[in-house]
Amino acid sequence: MSRSSTQATRTSLDPDGEASASTAASRRRHARGTSPDPEDARVLVVTGLSQKNDRHYGPLADVADRTTLVCLDPTVDVDDANCVPTPQVGPRLVRVVALFFVALYEGYRNEYDAIASISLFPYGLYALALKAVYGYPAHLGIIGIDLDHHAHQWYGGIPRWAFRRFDAVSVPGPSHAERLARLGVSRDRIEILTNAIDVDTYAPTDADVETEYDFVWVGRFSAEKDPIRFVEALAELEATGAGFRAAMVGDGPLRADAADAIVARGLDDCVDLPGWVDDPVRYYRRSNAFVLTSRRDALPLVMLEAMATGLAPIVPSVGSIPDVVTDGDDGIVVPDREPATFAAAMERFLDDPDYRRSVAANATAVRSSFSLEQASDDWRRILTTLAR
């Protein structure tokens, strides 16, 4: 969803340099120890999400009285939010470090009621540091790697300790919420935050529109997304004598390996590699089914986008995916991620297009559960939790 507004550049100082009315109100609240309603809250966001800021924090800005994003990307444009970019000097690592000091100064020069972050390393840790300095309650939005990977590494004690220090921790679904509670995070601090999609953009097309691809894979060509597994599944499918066309949309370190695997398995005539696209919606609309092969994932946005657009999903049982996709109803959930299992699911869709169309129709129900409006309601609950 495109967001641009004259309010995006407003600051917390009036032309004469005096604190705004909302800043003064915030200071009065802190002085008397009271907490604001969500609609009155001033929230400082520490983020490096770049083009994802609008989707993640636009719903927050719709709820809070004032939202300020301290961000890496100087082109960030989120409606109803003030964006404070990090100076664009040096490599990304230098800017990531500088981001903390920009946020520290912003927390000093203006008054806030809460700090919000998504992804523990480093943005959540920055939020905890700001909490320690200024006393603002802090939020962490868990992404897959935080809970699925970092928490179980040799340094896992650090993230597990950090999770328990936040005043509110949001997760994409009930499965992640249960796992977080088992790590010692108080259940009254855990909230669900919808991985929101723009349902106006990702909408089903006319049923009579002719598609070009039987299957589409969309994502970063990286080890956790496992694009080679999709190629292996296609090879298993091709060995059955089935005819199909597929597209793998995206870029990343394993793209060349995937291309080599496609050629090595003789699939180059039936698999397209269009590369990175800013918005994959046109590939969703040209496809019949969506395939996800991730080794680990929280609740992938591309899956929700594809389902909302009317594609039947074939997905693994990882992260919070089983909270959304019911096997045989609105998708096929493969139990073991073996190429042959993926191939069998794809073959079923090829052999029974009526079944595939029924699954695809059911999949569009995500439009009501994962809208930007729902995300705003989730942020309202998170701000209420932070204000306790």
Instruction: Supply the CATH number for residue 52's domain.
Output: 3.40.50.2000
In what side-by-side order are the strands of the sheet with 312-316?
271-275, 246-249, 213-218, 287-291, 312-316, 332-334
- Do 71 and 97 belong to one domain? yes
What's the pLDDT at 100? Answer: 98
Residue 134 lies in a domain: yes
- Do 113 and 186 belong to one domain? yes
What's the pLDDT at 16? Answer: 38
- pLDDT(357) > 50: yes
In what side-by-side order are the strands of the sheet with 138-141?
81-85, 66-71, 42-47, 114-118, 138-141, 168-171, 190-192
Q: Of the candidates 256, 269, 199, 192, which has an alpha carbon nearest to the alpha carbon of residue 227?
A: 256
25 band by pLDDT with thresholds 50, 70 and 90: very low
Q: Using the Cα atoms of residue 218, residue 302, residue 152 and residue 46 in order, give the sign of their dihedral.
A: positive
Q: What is the mean pLDDT of residues 280-299?
A: 95
Residue 205 lies in a domain: no
Phi/psi region, residue 184 (left: phi>0; alpha: psi -120 to 50; beta: rest), is: left
CB burial of residue 63 (10 Å; 0-12, 13-18, 19+): buried
- pLDDT(353) > 90: yes
- Do 231 and 157 belong to one domain? no
Type of residue at 62: D
- pLDDT(13) > 80: no
- Do 79 and 150 belong to one domain? yes
- pLDDT(27) > 50: no
Kindly report whether the peptide bond that precedes residue 122 is cis, defined as omega within 30 degrees of 0: yes
262 band by pLDDT with thresholds 50, 70 and 90: very high
pLDDT tens-digit map of 99-136: 999 999 999 999 999 999 999 999 999 999 999 999 99
Residue 201 lies in a domain: no
Residue 202 lies in a domain: no
Token duo for residue 341: 């299992």
pTM: 0.86
Number of domains into which the chain is organized = 2
* DSSP codes, 61-117: HHHSSEEEEEES-TT---TTEEEEEPP--S-HHHHHHHHHHHHHHHHHHS--SEEEE
Residue 279 lies in a domain: yes
- Do 181 and 222 belong to one domain? no
Q: In 10 A of CB 241, how many CB atoms? A: 7
Does residue 379 contact residue 60 with C-beta atoms inside 8 Å? Answer: yes
- Do 292 and 316 belong to one domain? yes
Q: Which domain holds residue 230?
A: 213-369
What's the pLDDT at 209? Answer: 75
Q: Of the candidates 154, 174, 152, which has an alpha carbon nearest to the alpha carbon of residue 163?
A: 152
- pLDDT(36) > 80: no
- Do 226 and 171 belong to one domain? no
**How is residue 315 annotated by DSSP?**
E
- Do 75 and 136 belong to one domain? yes
pLDDT tens-digit map of 244-261: 999 999 999 999 999 999
Residue 219 lies in a domain: yes
Reported as type and span, the H/E element at residue 53 is helix 53-63
Q: What is the mean pLDDT of residues 155-172?
A: 97
Mean pLDDT rounded to a whole number for the chain: 90
| Higher local confidence (pLDDT), 29 or 231 | 231
What's the pLDDT at 207? Answer: 67
35 band by pLDDT with thresholds 50, 70 and 90: low
* DSSP codes, 172-230: SSHHHHHHHHHTT--GGGEEE----B-TTTS-PPPTTSPPSEEEEEES--STTT-HHHH
- Do 253 and 358 belong to one domain? yes
- Do 45 and 188 belong to one domain? yes
- Do 300 and 377 belong to one domain? no
Residue 203 lies in a domain: no
Q: In 10 A of CB 7, how many CB atoms? A: 13
What's the pLDDT at 332? Answer: 98
- Do 179 and 265 belong to one domain? no
- pLDDT(9) > 50: no
- pLDDT(14) > 80: no
Residue 185 lies in a domain: yes
- pLDDT(28) > 50: no
